[in-house]
């Protein structure tokens, strides 16, 4: 993703001042941080929060595409708000995926009266992805739970509890990302699906977000950028 973000940034006329591959690189990054307009972070779950706090300390906007750290999201949003910093977070920067999010919320609401259908999520990613389920799948699951009254929680495996939404994760090959929400009944199956052909769409979305946050203060998501 780092290489794709770099290419997308250059294609859109931006200059990449510094690239960070290891935690120790942040020490040298201090030389460049005050000359930068924004940091785009696609790193690891265990370093994402420290990266965000580093940018807060230097009062520079950060766009985070790292997932797997959202158990601390509320804490970071509170810091962002109280200290008037700038943070843009998205589990997926693809425009198509964010349209999928909107469709998913609407479909879950429609399915409330159609109790013959059970719902589950399948997500497939490359074998190098560390977190499972993906942040995108967690977002889809959370939105279903908010809109579909018969689901109260999700689980990262198959569950026989009708109140639990099952989320199945597959890791294989070099697949950029496939997400499918499936409503299944005894007579038919209805689904909405997004399949990424490459990482380019994610990178372009992140760079567009980095452009969009300039001059803004607060916490933002793709729905703010897209007006969904």
Point out the residues that are catalytic.
125, 129
Helix (H, G, I), strand (E, B) or coil at 94: coil
Q: How far apart are CA 148 and CA 141, in angstroms?
A: 10
Are residues 207 and 6 in contact, defined by beta-carbon separation less than 8 angstroms?
no
Which residues neighbour 85 within 8 Å (Cβ) at sequence distance 6 or greater? 55, 56, 59, 61, 79, 217
Q: Which helix (H) or strand (E) holds 147?
A: helix 135-147
Q: How far is CA 88 from the centre of its chain?
A: 10
């Amino acid at each position: 993703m780092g290489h794709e973000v770099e290419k997308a940034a250059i294609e859109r006329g931006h200059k990449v001042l510094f690239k960070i591959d290891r935690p120790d690189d942040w020490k040298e990054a201090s030389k460049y941080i005050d000359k930068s307009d924004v940091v785009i972070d696609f790193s690891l779950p265990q370093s994402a929060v420290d990266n965000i706090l580093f940018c807060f300390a230097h009062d520079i906007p950060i766009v985070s595409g790292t997932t797997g750290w959202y158990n601390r999201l509320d804490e970071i949003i509170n810091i962002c708000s109280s200290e008037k910093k700038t943070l843009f977070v998205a589990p997926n920067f693809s425009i198509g995926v964010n349209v999928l999010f909107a469709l998913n919320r609407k479909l879950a609401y429609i399915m409330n009266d159609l109790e013959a259908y059970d719902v589950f999520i399948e997500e497939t990613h490359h074998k190098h992805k560390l977190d499972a389920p993906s942040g995108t799948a967690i977002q889809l699951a959370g939105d279903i739970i908010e809109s579909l009254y018969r689901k109260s929680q999700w689980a990262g495996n198959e569950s026989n509890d009708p109140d639990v939404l099952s989320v199945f994760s597959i890791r294989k090959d070099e697949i950029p990302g496939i997400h499918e929400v499936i409503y299944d009944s005894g007579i038919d199956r209805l689904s909405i699906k997004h399949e990424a052909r490459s990482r380019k769409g994610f990178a372009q979305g992140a760079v567009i977000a980095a452009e969009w946050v300039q001059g803004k203060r607060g916490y933002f998501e793709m729905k703010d950028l897209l007006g969904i």
